[in-house]
Every structure is written in structure tokens, then in C-alpha cells.
Amino acid sequence: MTKLIESLNISASPYINAILSIIAFIVIAKIVDLFVDRVLRKFTRFTKSDIDDKILDAIHRPIYFTIILIGIVLAIAYLKPSQKVIFYADGILYSIMAVIWTVAAVKVSNIVIEDAVHKVSDVTGLSKDIIPLIENVSKIAIILASLMVILSIWKINITPLIASAGIAGAAIALAAKDTIANFFGGLSVFADKPFKIGDFIVIDKVDRGEVVSIGIRSTRIKTLDDIMITIPNAIIAGSKIVNESAPTPNLRVRIPVNVAYGSDIDLVEKTLIDIAARNGNILDDPAPKVFFNAFGESSLNLELLCWIKEPALRLRTADEINRGIYKRFDELGIRIPFPQRDVHIYQG
């Protein structure tokens, strides 16, 4: 640009040409800024998401100032000062560019992270409370990368710093191995999506409850006794998880029923289905079913299978049906057997 201005014979003074060159870059920067803000923004209106609008808001001013700073760098080089002046001038100007784009990168990173977490949370139930944590980790990484760039601009050897950072990182990793294991366990939970908030899960056939929060370090479930259990994600990643709410929120309940030999099987089946159909927690579709499983030592073994609306109702529904079966069988004279032994004593 300065060569072009000089070729136009606007001024014989190199300083005036340098100033005119800077002014020309300011005009170019303004034109580019208007293009980004006016033209590109029209295209973003056709997208469903507003993330592109937010990204444009974050980068259009850095683009403007970067063009101006490049013009100043070229103008200084045109004046051909000493190498020392060029070194310090370029170092200051490029460092300013690095800071400007560091701030822009942090803003863009926060926009992308917030959008991604909201989308993931809609599917997995991931708590949005982790957004500040992820943003801070991303901010630290961007600042460290920017610091390395600035040090390289000033010709400072960063090899010892990288080595020191590696040693410090290894020490921190050893000291926080459990935290790191939980962190990667949380990532595996987010990637595999074995459950989401509101699901009823059983972990290793021991802990059963509703998932109330999913974090980077741990997952919390609330049992039917209203007890909150916090389980590290490293344990969850290595455990067998039964999700009673997936793929549908309905749950099948199995209720074993034993009746005495000689009972009317058809009457028993009809009675069990009637009791299940009258319960408000049980679904009509799929309909309740009764299966004759086996001939026991002292009983005919049947099983009532019915679907309930949600896993949280399992114990309550089983209690209501068992009470109904006991009362109805007593009315109909259907005997529920129990083990009995006859002892015969022979005199020698």
C-alpha cells in the first residue's frame, strides 16, 4: 500500500506516505467490517441457530483492528528504521494482535461450548452447571497457547518452559489421578449416554434410584428412601448399569403367585388379570398376562406379568396387587399353600 501511494507521487516525504498508508488500511478495515457486519449477517439469518450471529459479533471487531495493525506494521517497515526499532515495534504490534485474538477466541469458545452443552443436555440430561467449568478449562488452554505465541514473537526460548510444564503436569496428574479418572469417566458417560436425568437406574444390582444430576466428577441418584447417593463417574464407567426407564419409561412387574394343587387354573388366571386391570398404575397396553411356570413341591407356580407407567411405581404397585390377590383369593376360597411336613413316629 505504501509503495502504491509512493508511486502515485502523492508526497515525496516517506513519513506522509506511511501515514497515508495507515489511513488507507483504516478505510480497508472499515470496508471489511461493513462487509462482515452487513453482508455476511444476511446469510446467517437463513440458519436456524443464532450461534453464527454470535460468532460474527465476536470476530468482526478483531478483524477490523487486525487490518489496521497490519497497516501500521507495513508502514513502519516502509520507513526502514533500525533492526532494533523494527524488532520492538513488530513485537508490540504482533503481541497486541495476539491479545485481541485471544479475547476473541475465548468468546467464540464460550459460545460454542454453551451451545454444545445445551444440545447435549437435551439428550443426556447433562447438568448445565458444568458450563463454567468447561469454559474455564478452555480459557486456560487458549491463554496458555497465546502466551506461547507471544513468547515466540519476542524470540524467547519456550523449550525450558514446555519441559517445566510437562514435569508440573505429570506431578499434578499423579496427585489428582482420581479426579482425572472421574473426569474421563464423566466423558464416557456423556459419550455413551447410558442414562439421562429422570431415569431410574440400577448400578451393579445394589444402588437403585432416579438420576438427579450428571456432573463431570460424579453422578447423583436419589433412592426411593429419599437418600441422595453420589457415585464417582470412574465407578459408573466400570459398572453394570440397568436403565429401567429405557428405551421406554414403562416397566414390567413380575409377581409370583402359588396356589394349591386342585385349584381352578382358569379361575386363578381370570382373577389375577381382573386385579391387575383395576389397578390405576398398570397399563392396558400391553395387557397383563398370567403364565403357568411350574409344578412346585406343594403348589402350582404362576406368574403375573403387567406393565406399569414408570419405574418409581414398582414397589407401590406390587404391594397393592399382592394385597388384592390375598383378599380376593380368600373370598373365592383359593388356597395359597405353604410348606408342610408330616412327621411319622414308629415304635420299635
CATH of residue 273's domain is: 3.30.70.100
Residues 298, 262 within the same domain: yes
How many whole angstroms separate alpha carbon 56 and alpha carbon 107? 11
Whether residue 147 sits in one domain with residue 212: no
Please tell me the distance from the alpha carbon of residue 47 to that of residue 30, in angstroms, as a whole number. 26
Q: CA-CA distances (angstroms) from residue 124 to 135, 213, 298?
A: 19, 10, 49
- 215, 130 Cβ separation under 8 angstroms: yes
Does one domain contain both 279 and 317? Answer: yes
Q: Which pLDDT value is given to residue 98?
A: 95
Domain boundary among 137, 159, 181: 159
What pLDDT sits at residue 135?
79
Amino acid identity, position 39: V
Task: Examine residue 338 and state whether it is found in any structural domain, yes or no.
Answer: no
Domain count, the chain: 3
Q: Which residues pair with 257 in a beta bridge?
A: 302
| 40, 46, 52, 57: CA torsion to nearest 10 | 50
Residue 263 pLDDT grade (very low, low, confident, very high; cuts 50, 70, 90): very high
- 239: domain range? 189-243
Specify whether 237 is located in the same domain as 256.
no
Average pLDDT over residues 110-121: 80
Rounded mean pLDDT of 163-175?
Answer: 67
Domain annotation covers residue 166? no
Q: What amino acid is encoded at 190 in this protein?
A: F
Inform me whether the pLDDT recorded for 5 exceeds 80.
Answer: no
Q: Examine the domain organization and report whether 67 and 193 are in the same domain.
A: no
Q: For residue 196, what is the domain's CATH number? A: 2.30.30.60
R_g (Cα) of the chain, nearest Å? 36
Say if residue 231 is in the same domain as residue 126. no
The answer on 14 and 121 residing in a single domain is yes
Q: What is the dihedral of CA 31, 33, 36, 37, to 10 degrees?
A: -110
Does the residue 164 lie in any domain? no
> Quick one: pLDDT at residue 8?
45
Residues 117 and 148 in one domain: yes
1 or 157: which carries more pLDDT confidence? Answer: 157
The reply to whether 63 falls in a domain is yes
Query: Is the confidence at residue 24, as pLDDT, over 70?
Result: yes
